[in-house]
Amino acid sequence: MALCSKMSGLWTAFVATTLVAGTASAQSLRDGLEIIGVPTPNGINLQPGVTEVARDIRMLDSLLLVITTVIVLFVTALLAYTIIRHNRRANPVPATFTHNRRIEVIWTAVPLVILFVIGGFSLPVLFKQQTIPEADVLIKATGYQWYWGYEYPEHDISFDSFMLAEDELEEFGYSQDEYLLATDTAVVVPTGQTVVMQITAADVIHSWTIPAFGVKQDGVPGRLAELWFEVDPGSEGIYFGQCSELCGVAHAYMPITVYAVTPEEYEMWLAGEIEAFASTGTTAPRTIELAAVE
């Protein structure tokens, strides 16, 4: 709790400085943003996709659901037919043949056709994910046990992002529903622009993911991986994610918060961030005590 209190104090000072300067701080941006990318209680579907890649993934998921449903229904019907047609009562004298060339060709060819169809739809999505375009915004995310550190290398900005304790949520404009999701600082990105994230880790393997963006990438110590996304204009809001690798005992306590804002708001935030929170190096690593997040 002492660590969270320290971060809250730093954030309050940052907000005050930025407001005096007349620019838009991350906290003031939060006040006008709707929470969009968030888990839904009792939900059974994927979060709404707000990027082209996310929509492609959902299309592929729907296609695979249709294909698997047809296969399950066909196999179930075939089993039912076999049980009825080939039981001892209906067929007391069993057949003596051991091969049927036509059936063998069919059960070899049909699965191949299904695989080609799946590959024809899935490979373009995979290539789109893995082909990193030129970045309009470049951000580096480093996973630590157990929090995320962020850098905007083109602007010499760096900060750490810690999960908010339950008693701090209201102070930052969140409700209790956002506990384990909201953080004291957020990644701010502009809509309608290509954002490239460089993902790595400082200790063990972590994973940076935002479901609504359709992105997930492991951060491996000593290696630098990349992902990209472009949030649709008009989809400004708050999006949550969580580390998706079992990175240790406090794995559940290193969430991700992203503010997607208009390009104009992003430039205003960026100017305020550089003035009040600029850094030429990364913030010194700190360790979260389990007692502070339980």
List the pLDDT tens digit at each of the 294 positions of the chain.
334 443 443 333 333 333 333 334 555 566 778 999 998 888 888 998 999 999 999 999 999 999 999 999 999 999 999 899 888 888 888 878 788 889 899 999 999 999 999 999 999 999 999 999 999 999 999 999 999 999 999 988 889 999 999 999 988 889 999 999 999 999 999 999 999 999 999 999 999 999 999 999 999 999 999 999 999 999 999 999 999 999 999 999 999 999 999 999 899 888 875 444 443 333 444 444 444 444
Question: Which residues span the domain enclosing 77?
Answer: 52-130
Indicate if 89 and 65 belong to the same structural domain.
yes
Flag whether 47 is in a domain.
no
Indicate if 148 and 76 belong to the same structural domain.
no
Indicate if 85 and 175 belong to the same structural domain.
no
What is the pLDDT at residue 293? 45
What is the pLDDT at residue 273? 55
Residue 234 neighbours by CB distance under 10 Å: 10
Domain count, the chain: 2
Instruction: Give the single-character DSSP code of 88.
Output: T
**In this structure, what CATH number is given to the domain that contains residue 124?**
1.10.287.90
Peptide bond into 228 cis (omega under 30): no
Under 8 Å CB-to-CB from 27, ≥6 apart: which residues?
Answer: 11, 14, 15, 172, 173
Flag whether 98 is in a domain.
yes
Flag whether 71 is in a domain.
yes
Indicate if 124 and 139 belong to the same structural domain.
no
**In this structure, what CATH number is given to the domain that contains residue 205?**
2.60.40.420
How far apart are alpha carbons 198 and 223 in whole angstroms?
Answer: 10
CA 195 to chain centre: 14
What is the pLDDT at residue 18? 35
